[in-house]
């Protein structure tokens, strides 16, 4: 089975990518492949951040690398938290604090339409770039439901599933998620 390095240290994201691509690739985190440290995400779009990460890790390791940048876009907040989803509350990776801040910012809002967006980039060691895009729509709940997934999953009511991603099984979520759709888009271009 061919190895695919993923430019991420996010265990939830790695688990999802493995569930989606594990039948075709041996998915390996950038750390397990020998990349130590972080890549600063300086892009203003999900695509730019995915490209920055994939390219940096690929050039360091000399391997083909897949990177995903994704996040939550809330209509009434003009797309926020967007590319800042993982650090919306000011502290990178504090999922609970990010959810609490988002719920506070929406406490008097009736329009709770939102979507998860994912941009994936496969940066090949020869410099070739192949990308994919996916999104899934829903609404932000008034309180957390379920404990499955990560990030904003437990406050995102999926239009496709009729339940929060926090309640949905991993298998059901991976059939409709933004990351699944982005990877399918990417696979169609390979």
Q: Which domain holds residue 32?
A: 2-187
Number of structural domains in the chain: 1
CATH number (domain holding residue 76) = 3.90.950.10
Give the predicted TM-score (pTM) of the model: 0.93
Find the mean pLDDT for residues 96-109. 97
Q: Which residues are catalytic?
A: 69
pLDDT tens column, 155-173: 999 999 999 999 999 999 9
Q: Which residues of 57-74 are buried (b: 16+ CB within 10 A; e: fewer)?
A: bbebbebbbbbbbbbbbb
- pLDDT at residue number 10: 84
pLDDT tens column, 30-74: 999 999 888 999 999 999 999 999 999 999 999 999 999 999 999
- pLDDT at residue number 190: 82
């Amino acid at each position: 089975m061919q190895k695919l390095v993923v430019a991420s240290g996010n265990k939830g994201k790695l688990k999802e990518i493995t569930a989606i691509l594990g039948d075709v690739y041996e998915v390996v985190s950038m750390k397990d492949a020998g990349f130590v440290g972080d890549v600063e995400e300086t892009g203003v779009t999900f695509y730019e951040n995915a490209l920055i990460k994939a390219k940096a890790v690929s050039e360091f390791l000399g391997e083909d690398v897949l990177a995903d940048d994704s996040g939550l876009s809330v209509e009434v907040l003009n797309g926020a938290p967007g590319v800042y989803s993982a650090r919306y509350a000011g502290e990178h990776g504090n999922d609970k604090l990010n959810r609490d801040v988002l719920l506070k910012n929406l406490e008097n809002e009736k329009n709770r339409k939102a979507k998860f967006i994912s941009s994936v980039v496969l940066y090949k060691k020869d410099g070739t770039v192949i990308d994919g895009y996916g999104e899934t729509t829903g609404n932000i709940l008034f309180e957390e439901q379920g404990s499955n997934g990560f990030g904003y999953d437990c406050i995102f009511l999926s239009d496709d599933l009729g339940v929060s991603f926090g309640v949905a099984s991993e298998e059901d979520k991976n059939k409709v998620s933004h990351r699944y759709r982005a990877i399918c888009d990417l696979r169609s271009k390979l």
